């Protein structure tokens, strides 16, 4: 809630207490529609009609009489059951010109796990949404006052990694450079899967693949995985995504965390070892008390041969993330492009304060919803309902590329690196057409291209499928990142011209016109949009706000009266010019801040 809305909300609450409503409902304060009187209004009278046994207009009239106008309110009126507030334009200007600031830090840590791709090949376009969503929500939560830790899980004991490393050995391949390492390994992985389409070949190769898998589990091939990981990190960094820590699955097992988790679960009435039936000899968890509607609620944690399932490892990891287990050690892995240190779990590391979060956000696609329910069920089983409530699955739908689905095993995909390269190429072509004299065009094209890709991944509600299309993503009009970046660049251009002309007069807040009032109200919505995104754990709310802000800015910039510009900035009278320059400066800063929270750059010129 912005400062302006919050003050109105408090004034309404005080008046309601005077009417005998000691526990008022949530008081919603909204901007009044353009065709209605006032600047802000509240429909709270409708919510109280049943409680007070009065018609909303009557409640609104009494409420308006009782409200003591807070600072900046010059008039209060009712319209039906609404109470509307008319604010002093100068007060609105003053509030809107306060620079955006991060919220004060709150207690408790939230751990955001995202990316977590198998270290066996290059990232494909389907991974883009995961990285963009996870990185953006981590930035937003941090700005909203949360202590955030960003984690990337390395599944180095998975079959996919074993198959990729086996393929290199099987085909006698030696890396000679020229192609990015993860792409080179990915080609071998796809080649192997094509060979294994023949069932006889698959059966013949299986023992050798399992041998590589055992070597991975023993930690003997960690160096090979690190080479793949280093190549994948280059892609993640090119997307402007960085992390705090990498946690390796092999370290979870080696340091005994898997065993610790199983012991915790075995001490509950929900985990047993059946002596007969299809689960004989296995360690299974009965999830029926926590997950409804399952035809078979039993979940295998340890197979009868003693090997752990993926589920068991995932539970151990979730328990560690939420402080139920300890024992991992860490050391520096590499320095990231921003200068931020990236740490990794490692057998030769030292204890460090990673994990132990009160809340977790696991960014993973909607097809993994059931395994995510199992993690919550496991927390419930060990009596930690509080932690189960804090375990959030940021589920997202899949990504199509120009209407086509993707498949990594079959090679029917496009890599993230290729998408970014193409985005930058197309952005460069658009910029060359619109502004052929632009300085540092290559750097701007990179910022625009990558921004276009990232925004396309976060602008839509996560539960909706995305069909990524080039012409839409790189549009300078409509709901695309270049539209927002151009709004920022236009504001920057005005400020450069003002500086070059030596225009620096003080803003006269009292000279605000209705045009400035509308732009100011749009600026004032920024903190609310950030907070709402943080509460809902989705960046699309902030993305949509930035589109609205750009639209408000363009409407202001292009406003006409009698066919002439209604809001000139540089040629406005002194005082009004200062006010307009201050609003342009605030618009520029707010847009840049909002884009940064989505992991997108804001060029000074385009």
What is the 3-state secondary structure of 133-180?
HHHHHHHHHHHCCCEEEEEEEECCCCHHHHHHHHHHHHCCCCCCCCCC
- Model confidence at 268: pLDDT above 80: yes
- Model confidence at 409: pLDDT above 60: no
- Model confidence at 574: pLDDT above 90: yes
pLDDT for 3 equals 86
| Domains annotated on the chain, with CATH | 3-87 (3.30.1360.70), 109-401 (3.40.50.620), 417-597 (1.10.730.10)
- Model confidence at 408: pLDDT above 60: no
Cβ neighbors of 295 (< 8 A, separation 6 or more) are: none
Report the range of poorest mean pLDDT among 311-325, 462-476, 487-501: 462-476
| Mean pLDDT value across residues 377-382 | 98
Closest alpha carbon to 450 in 241, 232, 141, 165: 241
CA distance 466 to 116: 20
Higher pLDDT, 306 or 591: 591
244 phi and psi, to 5 degrees? -95, -40
CA distance 9 to 26: 9
- Model confidence at 516: pLDDT above 80: yes
- Model confidence at 457: pLDDT above 60: yes
pLDDT digits (tens, 9 = 90+) for 46-80: 999 999 999 999 999 999 999 999 999 999 999 99
CA distance 544 to 508: 31
CA distance 305 to 240: 44
Strands of 391-396's sheet in order across:
330-335, 341-345, 245-248, 147-154, 109-113, 359-365, 391-396
Confidence of residue 412 (pLDDT cuts 50, 70, 90): low
pLDDT for 125 equals 83
Task: Please tell me whether residue 480 adopts helix, strand or coil conformation.
Answer: coil
- Model confidence at 369: pLDDT above 90: yes
CB 494, CB 501: distance < 8 Å: no
- Model confidence at 568: pLDDT above 90: yes
Task: Please tell me whether residue 300 adopts helix, strand or coil conformation.
Answer: strand
- Model confidence at 599: pLDDT above 90: yes
| Mean pLDDT value across residues 339-367 | 97
pLDDT for 407 equals 55
How is 73-117 classified by DSSP, letter by letter?
EEEEEEETTEEEEEE-HHHHHHHHTSPP-PPPPPSSEEEEE----
pLDDT for 70 equals 95
Helix ranges (H only) for 525-575 are: 526-536, 540-557
Tokens of 394: 């940021």
Higher pLDDT, 217 or 344: 344
pLDDT for 230 equals 97
Confidence of residue 381 (pLDDT cuts 50, 70, 90): very high
Q: Please tell me the pTM assigned to this model.
A: 0.94
| Mean pLDDT value across residues 303-325 | 95
CB 303, CB 280: distance < 8 Å: no
Confidence of residue 463 (pLDDT cuts 50, 70, 90): very high
CB 285, CB 378: distance < 8 Å: yes
Confidence of residue 567 (pLDDT cuts 50, 70, 90): very high
Report the range of poorest mean pLDDT among 325-329, 411-415, 502-506, 537-541: 411-415
pLDDT for 468 equals 84
């Amino acid at each position: 809630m912005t400062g302006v809305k919050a003050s109105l909300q408090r004034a309404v609450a005080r008046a309601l207490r005077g009417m005998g409503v000691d526990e008022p409902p949530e008081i919603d304060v909204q901007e009044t529609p353009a065709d209605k009187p006032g600047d802000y209004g509240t429909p709270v009278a409708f919510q109280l009609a049943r409680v007070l046994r009065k018609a909303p207009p009557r409640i609104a009239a009494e409420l308006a009489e009782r409200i003591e106008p807070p600072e900046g309110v010059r008039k209060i009126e009712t319209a039906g059951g609404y109470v509307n507030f008319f604010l002093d334009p100068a007060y609105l200007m003053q509030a809107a010109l306060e620079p955006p600031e991060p919220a004060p830090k709150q207690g408790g840590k939230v751990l955001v796990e995202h990316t977590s791709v198998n270290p066996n090949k290059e990232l494909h376009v389907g991974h883009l949404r995961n990285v963009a969503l996870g990185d953006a929500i981590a930035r937003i939560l941090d700005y909203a006052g949360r202590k955030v830790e960003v984690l990337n899980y390395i599944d180095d004991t998975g079959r996919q990694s074993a198959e990729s490393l086996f393929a290199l050995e099987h085909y006698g391949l030696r890396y000679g450079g020229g192609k990015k390492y993860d792409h080179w390994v990915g080609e071998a992985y796809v080649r192997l899967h094509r060979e294994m389409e023949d069932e006889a070949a698959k059966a013949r190769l299986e023992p050798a693949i399992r041998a590589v898998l055992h070597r991975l589990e023993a930690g003997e091939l960690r160096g090979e995985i690190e080479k793949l990981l280093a190549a994948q990190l280059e892609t993640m960094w090119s997307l402007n995504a960085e992390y705090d820590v990498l946690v390796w699955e092999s370290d979870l097992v080696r340091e005994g965390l898997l065993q610790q988790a199983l012991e915790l679960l075995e001490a509950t009435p929900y985990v047993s070892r059946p002596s007969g039936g299809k689960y004989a000899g296995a360690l299974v968890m009965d999830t029926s008390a926590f997950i409804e509607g399952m035809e078979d609620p039993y979940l295998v944690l340890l197979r009868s041969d003693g090997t752990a399932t993926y589920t068991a490892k995932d539970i151990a990891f979730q328990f560690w993330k939420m402080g139920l287990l300890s024992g991992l050690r860490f050391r520096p892995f590499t320095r990231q492009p921003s200068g931020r240190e990236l740490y990794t779990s490692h057998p030769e590391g030292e204890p460090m304060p990673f994990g132990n979060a009160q809340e977790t956000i696991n960014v993973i696609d909607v097809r993994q919803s059931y395994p995510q329910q199992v993690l919550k069920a496991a927390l419930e089983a060990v009596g930690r309902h509080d932690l189960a409530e804090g375990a959030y699955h940021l589920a997202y739908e899949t990504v199509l590329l120009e209407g086509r689905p993707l498949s990594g095993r079959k090679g029917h995909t496009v890599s993230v690196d290729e998408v970014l390269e193409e985005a930058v190429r197309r952005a460069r072509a658009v910029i060359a057409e619109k502004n052929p004299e632009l300085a540092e065009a290559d750097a701007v094209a990179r910022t625009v291209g990558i921004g276009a890709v990232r925004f396309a991944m976060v602008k839509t509600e996560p539960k909706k499928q995305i069909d990524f299309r080039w012409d839409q993503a790189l549009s300078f009009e409509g709901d695309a990142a270049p539209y927002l970046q151009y709004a920022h660049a236009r504001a920057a251009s005005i400020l450069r011209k003002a500086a070059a002309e030596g225009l620096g007069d003080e803003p006269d807040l009292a000279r605000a016109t209705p045009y400035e009032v509308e732009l100011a109200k749009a600026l004032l919505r920024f903190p609310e949009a950030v907070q709402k995104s943080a509460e809902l754990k989705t960046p699309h709310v902030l993305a949509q706000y930035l589109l609205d802000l750009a639209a408000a800015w363009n409407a202001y910039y292009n406003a006409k009266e009698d066919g002439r510009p209604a809001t000139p900035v540089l040629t406005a009278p002194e005082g009004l010019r200062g006010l307009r320059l201050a609003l342009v400066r605030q618009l520029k800063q707010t847009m840049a801040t909002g884009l940064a929270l989505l992991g997108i750059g804001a060029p000074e010129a385009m």
